[in-house]
Structure 1
Amino acid sequence: MHYGHPDVFDRVFHITRGGISKASRVINISEDIFSGFNSTLRQGNVTHHEYIQVGKGRDVGLNQISLFEGKVSGGNGEQVLSRDVYRLGQLFDFFRMMSFYFTTVGYYFCMMLTVLTVYIFLYGKAYLALSGVGEAVEIRALITKNNALSAALNTQFLLQIGIFTAVPMVLGFILELGFLRAVVNFITMQFQLCSVFFTFSLGTKSHYFGRTILHGGARYQATGRGFVVRHIRFSENYRLYSRSHFVKGLEVVLLLVVYLAYGYNDGGTLSYILLTVSSWFMALSWLFAPYLFNPSGFEWQKTVEDFRDWTNWLFYRGGIGVKGQESWEAWWDEELAHIRTLSGRIMETILSLRFFHLPIWCCIQASYTRK
């Protein structure tokens, strides 16, 4: 089930076994892998012969890469919801099932779990701080000298789960290049801000994968084939990353500030930094990566032009035939187009209730502090 454009189909085999009706981007956005699923379910073979390995010269811009990753992530979300994957899971033996999981939906599922872990951790810390329970428990742990309880409360190691995703890459470098060159390459990549890029990519994958699971309807993203080493306007970056990165990054920053203001830290500043450094890194990467990787992103004249274009986009009214690139109102309608069903609206409402609970707890804590 090679995830790429299939070059050759055995027409006689597929037609005599029902055809390959799902191998269409109208039905499923990842049409190529669904044809592989159908072939495997019908006792067929899918082989991939690689004679020469070459690097494909495309997708060198951040926006192109993000669009492509969004398309693939949405396709994996459709695979999770499909009958094909369910049937394959019923038929595979354990070892082939593990291989199948890791090479299809498992990777994106782990990405989504990593982001959800950060959210659960920060909301848990914020609620413990605002309710006063965290402070009471930590003081009790200090009085009773319960070190195990203190260690459980300061669970900064939970936020380091994302580091494990880099382990296969490091081991691959060591096998191919040797230990010393692998270390040099890894340090060089850090200077090239690869950690910022892959943290930003983590948000892209988890957003589109999770949205497709909740609402379905993954869309084809035209990544383009043009010259992409050019300055990207702020309005274009905002349209592409607002819902997936900017809003969520600001939410994480808000939770970190609330925890800083109301949280109980016996260890002081150092304890807070060790506890939240990875969350701050994720939030800042989501907020500022499009500008770090944008050619001429900090040139003053282009910043002035971006602001003028941004204000024109904000104040242009939508209407019939107006595209999202021209008007904020039309873009907003397009962003909400995937919520088509009653169950989808209920799910979005439930998820949005977290914004309603936080200010209530803040008001309760503020009134308690004044007393």
Structure 2
Amino acid sequence: DNYLEEAFKMRNVLEEFESTKYGQSKPTILGLREHIFTGSVSSLAWFMSNQETSFVTIGQRVLANPLKVRFHYGHPDIFDRLFHITRGGISKASKTINLSEDIFSGFNSTMRGGNITHHEYMQVGKGRDMGMNQISSFEAKVANGNGEQTLSRDIYRLGRRFDFYRMLSFYFTTVGFYFSSMVTVLTVYVFLYGRLYLVLSGLEKSILLDPRIQENIEPLQNVLASQSVFQLGLLLVLPMVVEVGLEKGFRTALGEFIIMQLQLASVFFTFQLGTKTHYYGRTILHGGAKYIPTGRGFVVYHAKFAENYRMYSRSHFVKGLELLILLVVYLAYGRSYRTNSSLYLFVTFSIWFMVASWLFAPFIFNPSCFEWQKTVDDWTDWRKWMGNRGGI
């Protein structure tokens, strides 16, 4: 979506192709920032537009300079046509491996000696996804694409040929983010299953009765309690707050942050963490990523219960229930935190929070989910789906 006053700046942007201020190689892709205009539709659209705004401004700015690892992210970039046509073209061959087709043209450009920059004096409008299911489909598609990128040759070649600092920046700004999200969720599983083993085998009891352990138990528990505050995904919100602060002032940023928390932004982002982890892990294990059309229409409609269940059962509900059972068993049999019950709360609070958001987020963020008639319709629809006689 192009604005008239932005179109006047086009000449200035195109002059950047001839600019000598970028060192030996002239720019081959000029990045522009986006203006996401769909933020006012619903709270979810607002979260998404804020997150995306921080990515297309602060994120891209740092990626382009000093990190030098900006690629093409499907944003309104301007390509040097001659450079790309004579070096293998923009489009890629495989619709499975190159699912995130946009970033591969960036990889291509960088590997063949191109230079990708970022400019913020011109912006182009863009609409984002608005409904919960749309956003989840989009996140699933990106996570699938990242799984395929992890397995691709392009990443391998870039990783081999970058210098050490660019290599690290490159890792953390492409597949590393998804990989660390996956490790975060796996760690929760390992923690709970380990605890469960200790409790049910009676090992925990014997450890706690050991007099040498008794002296150190308080400081250890305090350390655990203090770090659990920071793992609630607060770090992911930081760039968002900083970006709004730079553009509209930090008082506004603080206000917006508080309003977002009241609109349950953290529940939503914790839910999306599950989406990313599930689809990324599944693609790495089994492959077979495919393009999911999200259809960025103007949708704010009530999704039926059966539809929500079919969409999230494998990725969220089953895993959430598994963690819930582990937590309940641990609560019933665990002895270690009985001495100081608030510490048990601190250590497992973030996991309880994750379980709750995985199980209930699709229904909380469903428009008119508390309307009685809609609930009745959902129930009949679900009964019809469950009691469907006949073939498959």
Shorter-chain TM-score: which interval? 0.7 to 0.9
Indicate if the aligned counterparts of 2:146 and 2:280 stay in contact, CA closer than 8 A. yes
Return the letter of the residue paired with 1:34.
F
Q: Secondary structure of the equivalent of 1:225?
A: coil
- Map of 1:184-333 to 2, 5 A cutoff? 184-264=255-335, 265-316=337-388
Match of 1:29 in 2: 99
Return the letter of the residue paired with 1:68.
F
Inter-CA distance 56–10: structure 2 relative to 1 (3 Å threshold): closer
CA distance in structure 2 between the aligned counterparts of 1:318 and 1:107, rounded to whole angstroms? 46
Indicate if the aligned counterparts of 1:24 and 1:31 stay in contact, CA closer than 8 A. no
Match of 2:198 in 1: 128
Inter-CA distance 120–167: structure 2 relative to 1 (3 Å threshold): farther
Select which of 149, 162, 175 maps to 1:105: 175
Indicate if the aligned counterparts of 2:97 and 2:148 stay in contact, CA closer than 8 A. no
- Map of 1:94-173 to 2, 5 A cutoff? 94-140=164-210, 145-147=214-216, 151=220, 155-156=224-225, 159=228, 160-161=230-231, 162-173=233-244
Deviation (angstroms), 1:19: 4.5
1:98-153 CA distances to partner (integer Å, 9 max, x unpaired)?
33223211221221122112111111111111111122212325x65431686169
Identity of aligned residues (%): 64
CA distance in structure 2 between the aligned counterparts of 1:305 and 1:29, rounded to whole angstroms? 37
Inter-CA distance 186–318: structure 2 relative to 1 (3 Å threshold): farther
1:3-57 CA distances to partner (integer Å, 9 max, x unpaired)?
1067665555445444456355354211111122122212223445555335533
Return the letter of the residue paired with 1:274.
F
Q: Which 10-residue stretch deviates more, 233-242 or 165-174?
A: 165-174
Inter-CA distance 221–7: structure 2 relative to 1 (3 Å threshold): same
Q: Which 10-residue stretch deviates more, 160-169 or 218-227?
A: 160-169
Report the TM-score when normalising by structure 1. 0.77
Indicate if the aligned counterparts of 1:23 and 1:35 stay in contact, CA closer than 8 A. no
CA RMSD, aligned part only?
A: 2.7
1:152-175 CA distances to partner (integer Å, 9 max, x unpaired)?
698345654333333333444554
**For structure 2, which runs of at least 5 residues remain unmatched after alignment?**
1-70
CA distance in structure 1 between the aligned counterparts of 2:122 and 2:89, rounded to whole angstroms? 31
Inter-CA distance 77–158: structure 2 relative to 1 (3 Å threshold): farther
Return the letter of the residue paired with 1:79.
Q
CA distance in structure 1 between the aligned counterparts of 2:268 and 2:121, rounded to whole angstroms? 31
**For structure 1, which runs of at least 5 residues remain unmatched after alignment?**
320-328, 330-371
Q: Secondary structure of the equivalent of 1:146?
A: helix
Indicate if the aligned counterparts of 1:23 and 1:32 stay in contact, CA closer than 8 A. no
1:273-295 CA distances to partner (integer Å, 9 max, x unpaired)?
22211111110101111111101
CA distance in structure 2 between the aligned counterparts of 1:14 and 1:53, rounded to whole angstroms? 23
Match of 1:59 in 2: 129
Structure (1/2) with the larger helix percentage: 1
Inter-CA distance 156–113: structure 2 relative to 1 (3 Å threshold): farther
Structure (1/2) with the larger strand percentage: 2
Pair 1:40-2:115 in alignment:
no
Q: Secondary structure of the equivalent of 1:219?
A: coil
CA distance in structure 2 between the aligned counterparts of 1:24 and 1:318, rounded to whole angstroms? 39
Return the letter of the residue paired with 1:191.
L
1:251-291 CA distances to partner (integer Å, 9 max, x unpaired)?
11111101001111233532322221111111010111111
CA distance in structure 2 between the aligned counterparts of 1:258 and 1:154, rounded to whole angstroms? 24
Pair 1:81-2:151 in alignment:
yes
- 4+ runs deviating over 6 angstroms: none
Q: Secondary structure of the equivalent of 1:100?
A: helix
Report the TM-score when normalising by structure 2. 0.73
Indicate if the aligned counterparts of 1:230 and 1:295 stay in contact, CA closer than 8 A. yes
CA distance in structure 1 between the aligned counterparts of 2:91 and 2:385, rounded to whole angstroms? 41
1:276-318 CA distances to partner (integer Å, 9 max, x unpaired)?
1111111010111111110111222211211221222234468
Indicate if the aligned counterparts of 1:77 and 1:210 stay in contact, CA closer than 8 A. yes
Select which of 154, 160, 163 maps to 1:90: 160
